[in-house]
Amino acid sequence: MRLVFFGTPEAAVPSLRALVAAGHEVLAVVTQPDRRRGRGNQLSPSPVKAAATALSIPVVHSVAELADVDAEWGIVVAYGAMIKPEVLAVLPMLNVHFSLLPRWRGAAPVERAILAGDAQTGVTIMTLEATLDTGPIHAEKRTSIGTKTAQALTAELAESGAQLLVEVLATPSRLGHARAQKGPATYAEKLTSDTFHLRPEIPVEDLERIVRLGKAWCTIAQKRVRVLEASGESTPATPGELVVRDGGVGLATGDGILWLTLVQPEGSTAMTAQSWWGGARLAPDATWG
């Protein structure tokens, strides 16, 4: 088929590569403009743009640049912007969405599924509509969440979504006969810095889930510390205290202790909690929050 691909982050790259490998003609890739990234603040292409360039596929940064492209379908995977109704009116589009719709419509479905403690999530192939993630479903594939991190779960869904997308395009019955979404809808609101803020009043099980998102942080003795890896223990504790026991360092909440494994103090590199504690030289009554 003749396709136009819309995508931006690393999670969209497996679908682009799978389409090319399956023999589809990707006429153009639409992705977000280059952005300044890294310590050098240099302009860098999106992961999708880099992949498209390697595959010798033309890349544009605006839908308006597609006026002369004769495509049969548009494919949207984490593009990062809404597609206007007038575009959908002339080019039907399939969307690879990383949840089991209608649960977790919106910007952060993987993270919201983890935070909610969902046992399962998955990937859905749907027809794109002008309204947010409401389109009819062509196929879905489920997976368990367990203790997976957001990064690991996203990578898994990206691969399974790419495979399912190719299957849908190759199966006329799936492509031509989508079903309406059923069940109550939930919305995956955007994540903010506060989403990742570990606080003493949060149950320890929820703190573990926040850490699995990958950007968790708290303040310890008035200094900001990123918590990269940690595990929870359900036990009586005094919220806000630092617990040091058998070489371990923990953050006490009302119902347990979050034992730190890997941390990154502000202005430093990642290190084990024991190494950080050994050099921090905190006062015996230091607290966290």
Record the tokens describing residue 11, joined without a space.
Answer: 């999670």
> Based on the domain organization, do 54 and 87 belong to the same domain?
yes
Give tens-digit pLDDT for 54-84: 999 999 998 888 888 999 999 999 999 999 9
pLDDT score of 284 more than 90: no
Give tens-digit pLDDT for 236-260: 999 999 999 888 999 999 899 999 9
Asked if residue 38 belongs to a domain, the reply is yes
Of residues 134, 265, 110, the one with CA closest to residue 191: 110
Give tens-digit pLDDT for 48-58: 999 999 999 99
Which residues fall within 8 angstroms of residue 244, CB to CB, at 6 or more apart?
250, 277
Give tens-digit pLDDT for 169-210: 999 999 999 999 999 999 999 999 999 999 999 999 999 999
> Based on the domain organization, do 109 and 158 belong to the same domain?
yes
Distance in angstroms (rounded) separating the CA atoms of residues 146 and 121: 10
Give tens-digit pLDDT for 8-20: 999 999 999 999 9
50 in helix, strand or coil?
Answer: helix
pLDDT score of 285 more than 90: no
> Based on the domain organization, do 27 and 118 belong to the same domain?
yes
pLDDT score of 40 more than 80: no
Domain span including residue 246: 193-280
Alpha carbon separation from 221 to 135, 196, 205, 225 (Å, rounded):
49, 18, 23, 10
> Based on the domain organization, do 180 and 197 belong to the same domain?
no
Q: Are 243 and 257 in contact (CB under 8 A)?
A: yes
The radius of gyration of the chain from alpha carbons, rounded to an integer in Å, stands at 22
Centre a 10 Å sphere on the Cβ of residue 166 and count the other Cβ atoms it contains.
Answer: 17
Record the tokens describing residue 165, joined without a space.
Answer: 């997308």
- The average pLDDT across 228-240 equals 95
Q: Are strands 59-60 and 42-44 parallel, antiparallel or unpaired?
A: unpaired
> Based on the domain organization, do 36 and 49 belong to the same domain?
yes
> Based on the domain organization, do 33 and 140 belong to the same domain?
yes
pTM: 0.94
Q: Are 17 and 51 in contact (CB under 8 A)?
A: yes
Phi-psi region of 240 (alpha: psi -120 to 50; beta: other; left: phi over 0): left
- The average pLDDT across 95-121 equals 98
> Based on the domain organization, do 123 and 261 belong to the same domain?
no
